[in-house]
Structure 1
Amino acid sequence: MRLDAQVKMAERKKTPYWLYATAGVLAIGLGVGAYFLWQNMQEKDRIAQEKKAREAELEKEKVARAAAEKEAAELKAKQEELDKKAKELEEKLGKAETEAERQALLAEQAKLEEEQAALKKKRKGKGGGGGGGGSSTKKKPVTKKRKDALQLGGGNGNPLDL
């Protein structure tokens, strides 16, 4: 029996338990590390996708802005052309000798004014055409003072005098 007890004690001494505990802790540590690494990769992927989406949106805005600026430049050029034609008509109207010629010039001038009005309306509808249309002035809200203003105290100007 003594020999059996000694053999069992020797077997216990052969297998150290700290080795199993260390292996378990390392396995748990590797699992936690792998989880955080995977989570970090997912976060980076999400951030990259958001960045691509923002860049695509910014690109769309740049294209839209370029188109709007091009249209504003075209409208401005057309407005300048119409202004030039209006000045020429004014000069021709001043030099007109017959009434028929004067009436034809007045009709042409009315048509030109309609085109200018339509162009101004179009520029206002597009946000002022780059700020050159003068539509950046905003109306101030109308505020009215109370007719019967509330006064504290006896009306001597001291608000603490009740």
Structure 2
Amino acid sequence: RAVGGAGSGCVLPVSFALAERWAPKAVEDPEDPEFAALTRQGPATVRCEVDAKPAGHVGFLRVWTAGKGSARAALEGFVAAERNTSAVAYRESRSGAGPVTEVTYTVRDAVAEESKEERAFAVATPKGTVIVHLGGLDTEEHRAMVPAYELARTTLRTR
């Protein structure tokens, strides 16, 4: 089962395989300025949320799109827009669609007084840059969901 094509839950400039029982859902009206704080991060707008709850995890793979240009520049802008980040590490990697830029970083939650790991990859496509982000409730949940993230990265195809 894959997400990205017609009838998959989210129509995207890319497609990738979904981990078992993960459920994709398109974000409705992501361009609505009233919800910009939730639907925009730096240069990117969220388009799809792939929910891990049906698979027993607390978190999402979120797919964001940005304008045309360098995948790294879009990813750097995406991370820079996140508050309280540290240990930010970029690397060039491969995907099913070719080269991607990946990032791992830590986000400090001041309310919960704890830090958690996050990661994302970005790929430039003819329709703009796509960022696939994995968060999670906490670092333990995040690490448990990394196989779904890796499946998305390794099976990624541009459409």
TM over 0.5: no
Greater RCO, CA 8 A, separation 6+: 2
Of structures 1 and 2, the larger Rg is shown by 1
Range into which the TM-score falls when normalised by the shorter chain? under 0.3
Larger proportion of strand: 2
TM-score normalised by L of structure 1: 0.18
